[in-house]
Structure 1
Amino acid sequence: MQLQLPEPGADAQSASHTLQQLIAGEIAAAGGWISFERYMDLALYAPQVGYYSGGSAKLGKEGDFTTAPEISPLYGATLAHLAAEVIAASPEVDNVLLEFGAGTGKLARDILSELQLREALPRKYFIVEISAQLRAQQQATLAAFASVVEWLDALPESFSGVVVGNEVLDAMPVRLAVKAAEGWLERGVACDAQGRLRFEDRAVADLPVAQIPDADELPQGYLTELAPVAIGFMHTLGRMLARGAGGLAILPDYGFPAAEYYLLDRDQGTLMCHYRHHAHPDPFYWPGLQDITAHVDFTAMAVAAVEEGAEVLAYTSQGAFLLNAGIGELLLRTSPEDSLRYLPLANGMQKLISPAEMGELFKVLAIGKNVEWPARMLRHDRTHRL
């Protein structure tokens, strides 16, 4: 399939070729084949040349995709409003926030700006960021809050406070599993005779198909993703919260519960790539210059956290979550008569909550321990679907 997408510049092409040589070298060293999980890890995170570790713009107009914080400051303000309420009502929850994978830093700035407005700045706002390039961008964005922001290289062993992980799980590398006549195979990555990257299926002993409900009943040719990295992250997150006195983690992302993730008509999986605001299915298109994502199996994420001692507080659509958390009231702090300020905010809110935009595609999973969760946040709750 020939993709009709914007051509990258010479420097970007050179960086991609360097990454492709790195990947080809690893494939050769591994005997001619690596898992797709390893390929995705290199494509996104290889030092200097991976998508998230390179220097190109990722978000907004100049990047490849747009996230909720980039659409409207009301998103961060709403999360701040909810976090402050939970902290005030929960004696065991410390006045500390932690964000995992903070992108440009805009969400952190919006959250901290709202908390400052409420005279409720946290004692600390930790950011776990593995990309040096993004960390530098965050430091510039958050210069006004330098006294409270601190960067970490990994999640702490225990934590009491509020954790935010906006679109974190979908960017974690996945394994690909395909049903063949002889059973489940792993779809990995090899090189053809010309050195081009291609898919190749192999039988492996450790493919975790137990994540798939009724895996034996799915038809031959069925392709899907398995998420051991994200599941491992959720075990770590759940354990971190369980070891703390009281904490909450809010995880907005796009995905489904397991019963909807592995439907018969979703037989080619959910893997998707994003390049210059074009979505397409080819993960080998200019490696290092495009994002590669997969939808989240929220059932697997919730189970992993619960196994470590955390509790599922809510699972619902992003639209319902934001409305329950008070985004409408925050919009009305700006007078509709002030159209220059009100209309952009109203349009942004519509994109965030509308079922035709992000409101239904995106879901929010909230997990925690010793948290006073507001009763209104359970309106339209879908935890029973997990």
Structure 2
Amino acid sequence: MAEHPAYPVGLRLSGRRVVVLGGGQVAQRRLPALVAAGADVLLVSPGATPSVEAMADAGEITWVRRPYEDGDLADAWYALIATSDPVANAVASAEAERHRVWCVRADDADAATAWTPATGHSAGVTVAVLTTDARGRDPRHTAAIRDAVVEGLRDGTLVAPHHRTRTPGVALVGGGPGDPDLITVRGRRLLAEADVVIADRLGPRDLLAELPPHVEVIDAAKIPYGRAMAQEAINDALVQHARQGKSVVRLKGGDPFVFGRGMEEVQALAEAGIPCTVVPGISSSIAVPGAAGIPVTHRGVAHEFTVVSGHVAPDDERSLVDWPALARLTGTLVVLMGVDKIGQIAETLVAHGRSPDTPVALVQEGTTAAQRRVDATLATVAGTVRAADVKPPAVIVIGEVVAVGRPAAG
């Protein structure tokens, strides 16, 4: 058998008996995939790791607590032999051969009738890698190939065109706080498959350069205090391109539903009968403070954090924020879109009970190469913003956690 390569095949094990001999680390690694495949798993072993035992306790597998006995494989479709007893392994392997049961041997691959490939999954695709030369099998090499292919599928660097007709629609993708590595795997895959991308300025702009030339990129131009593409125009563009049968990605900064007006776009698409997929993103309200070394919660310091929009001043009749209530809280306050209003916000918080010495940090262009952090207090933050020329986008963190994550002097 060693002179010929293995024949690759996908086993459909749903509802079929699979016998696993041995409850150690090999079984612990292999059992989840067998359970996910819907197999009727029988584990035969006098002992098991805590993880394997937990699977048995949860009813995911059936565990017979004894050593292997002849006849255990009689009704099996597939067997995994992974005991620490070489003699028992050899006897079980012989039984599998008699009953024509495909058998994996953890201790002796050359004596097995089946090999387990290095597998990975991405977007409905299973990648399985086997070494074709039995004399030169190298599990690390096959795993490395598997990892490279799966990573390429996930991050969009390895794209295979869909030859079947795709259902047109819109994917509302949260791109994260700015660093292109912080977009989700699903978001990056959908971006790589798009025909049209309507992008915010605060999305991960570096990813747009990786798109194929045929992809139409529309700049939503939501630049603070400057040119702005009206939300209605964005909604119309989403609907029009989707109705042309195109796959459309609405690439937004942070998370679509954290001050991103994502629900307005979902509602507009629903009214037009356009299917929409929402892909959550990492919110800048947590990611940016974290990138600057500030934990929004910390044991003994803050048991809650509140995220608010600062795009309108506390005394503005349009404000929906209960600033006096926020001033009475002892936890962390994270303000988005509040750079030009931070002076008024600070005054309001102090007026309603917050200490003027409360630490404040402003993190500009968080998670990007241009990131910088400016520290102040509620009493000094207005002057500090002017002196340091802090510009949006910047995340403002107010609370004692700022001191926890403050860089050491010098």
TM-score by length of 2: 0.25
**Which of the two has greater helix per residue?**
1
TM-score by length of 1: 0.26
Bigger radius of gyration? 2
Relative CO higher for 1 or 2, CA cutoff 8 Å, sep ≥ 6? 1
